[in-house]
């Protein structure tokens, strides 16, 4: 499934944020983590679509999102920054 660049950047940020904090990720906390600003409303819409695509899960109604197994797989295969060996 082809994914737009913005969705890919948001998903990458969510996975990395979740790895760092082990807490669900909300749109407001992500809005400040991009070079080019993205509004929290836009991030919420993208997160909703990523959830429908199976890349994010919502632990409970008022929570942010957490990555699914599919998100981790995509992150490792395509999104993760690789260091030179």
Confidence band of 2 (pLDDT split at 50, 70, 90): low
Reported as a single tens digit per residue, the pLDDT across 26-52 is 998 888 888 888 899 999 999 999 999
* CA pair distance 55, 53, nearest whole angstrom: 6
Phi and psi for 78 in degrees, rounded to 5?
Answer: -135, -30
Q: Where are the beta strands (DSSP E) in the chain?
A: 56-57, 66-67
Output the pLDDT for position 10: 95
* CA pair distance 14, 20, nearest whole angstrom: 10
Report which of 52, 59, 9, 62 is spatially closest to residue 31, judged by C-alpha positions: 9
| Residue 7, SS3 per DSSP | helix
């Amino acid at each position: 499934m082809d994914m737009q660049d913005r969705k890919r950047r948001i998903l990458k940020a969510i996975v990395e944020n979740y790895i760092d904090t082990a807490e669900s990720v909300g749109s407001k906390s992500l809005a400040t983590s991009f070079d080019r600003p993205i509004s929290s409303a836009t991030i919420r819409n993208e997160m909703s679509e990523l959830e429908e695509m199976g890349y994010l899960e919502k632990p409970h109604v008022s929570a942010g999102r957490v990555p699914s197994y599919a998100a981790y797989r995509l992150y490792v295969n395509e999104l993760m920054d690789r260091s030179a060996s």
